[in-house]
Structure 1
Amino acid sequence: MQRTRELTQAAARALGLDEPTAAQASDDGGVVLNGTLVTVTPMPLEGLAGEAGDDTLVVSATLGCRVGELDAQALCAIFAHAPGVLAVYSAAIGCQPDGELVLHRMVPVRDAAVDTLAQDMFVTQQLAALLGDAATPVRARQ
């Protein structure tokens, strides 16, 4: 857990946060990037990880939409884009108790972990935004 906090703080610094804000991000478990909450957890999600061990983190980002606010057409638009993203980026889509859709990615802890974790956090945010944006034309027509 401590290693995850240290990596999160260093990644937050690499993403441009000042030291006090980066320290707060590590305490909170993540950062807000481009308006998207991105969190880092030290253990794989059950069912997602298989045999992943201590060398794996889960980076999660909200999609910016709630299931209850989307009609079937908007949900289908999101899930039409999901298979490629999920397969290529070792990801899964989940749902918070409040209905917020979340993209979860398993990322390995690498030797140059700080830079790669910062990149993984940014990529996860961008992928979540891409999936969330898939429903935007549908929501805009409503």
Structure 2
Amino acid sequence: MTAEAVLGWFFAVVLALVALGAAAEVRRRFRLARRGVAAEATVVAFTVRRDTDGTPRHFPVVTFTLADGSTVEAESPTGTPHTPADGVGDRLGIVYDPRAPRKITVTSLDPGHTGCGMITAMVICAAGAAYGSFALTGELLSR
């Protein structure tokens, strides 16, 4: 196998893994949009993590009450790079999965249009993976 073929397969695998990750996120977002339950939550804390470029991202941790009266604490999977306008003790809207209530989306951080971007990223990565595995290597087509 030539160096170009190895490089082509490497990029194909990396892009395929990125496409799978994007597909999982799209599935999570559409599942919440389809069967999620809207609720009001109270911000109890913020988890701060850094992006790969060192930018801090603030992820709200909220509590909310289910229909059966039980209280759930959950962290938003979506963070914001700037100091959030909502502080500890503030109330905000969320959507949660009734089958797994700790899976939430904060509506002000994820207004719904980001799913389109994830689908676009998934398609581009899948196309890149196909191009890398077939066009770059030529190995599969020549056999």
Q: TM-score, normalised by structure 1?
A: 0.26
Bigger Cα Rg: 2
Of Structure 1 and Structure 2, which has the larger fraction of its residues in strand? 2
* Larger RCO (alpha carbons 8 Å, 6+ apart): 2
Of Structure 1 and Structure 2, which has the larger fraction of its residues in helix? 1
